[in-house]
Amino acid sequence: MIATLFRNWTGEAGREAATASGAKMAQTGAEAAPLPALIVIDHLVKEYATGAGPVRVLSDVSMRVQPGEFVAVVGASGSGKSTLINMITGIDRPTGGDVTVAGERLNKLDENAMARWRGRHVGVIFQFFQLLPALTIVENVVLPMDFCNTWPVGERTERAMHLLEQVEMADQAHKLPGAVSGGQKQRAAIARALANDPPLLVGDEPTGNLDSRTADRIFGLFGDLVGQGKTLVMVTHDREIAHRAPRVIKVADGRIKEEIERG
Task: Report residue 235: phi and psi, to 5°.
Answer: -80, 135
Find the part of the chain contacting ligand ADP (CB under 6 A) among 79-87, 116-124, 156-164, 181-189: 79-87
Q: How far apart are CA 146 and CA 148, in angstroms?
A: 6
What is the closest distance, in whole angstroms, from the C-beta atom of residue 79 to ligand ADP in the complex? 4
Q: Minimum CB separation from ligand ADP for residue 37, in Å?
A: 22
Of the two residues 24 and 237, which places its CB atom closer to ligand ADP in the complex? 237
- Give, as ranges, the residues between 16 and 35 that touch ligand ADP (CB under 6 A): none
Q: What is the C-alpha to C-alpha distance for residues 141 and 19, in angstroms, rounded to an integer?
A: 17
- In the bound state with ligand ADP, the residue whose beta carbon lies nearer, of 28 and 50, is 50
Q: Which of 93, 130, 262, 101 is nearest to 206 (CA)?
A: 130
SS3 content of the chain, % helix, strand, coil (to 5): 40, 25, 35
Interface residue with ligand ADP, options 22, 67, 80, 183 (CB under 6 A): 80
Each residue 38-77 as x (binds ligand ADP by CB under 6 A) or -, in order, gives: ----------x-x----x-x-----------------x-x
In whole angstroms, give the CA distance from residue 192 to residue 139: 9
Three-state DSSP class for residue 44: strand
Residue 95's Cβ-side half-sphere holds a number of Cα atoms within 13 Å equal to: 14
Tell the smallest beta-carbon distance from residue 108 to Mg ion (Å): 26
207 binds ligand ADP (CB under 6 A): no
Does position 172 interact with Mg ion (CB under 5 A)? The reply is no
- Please give the residue ranges that form the binding site for Mg ion (CB under 5 A): 82
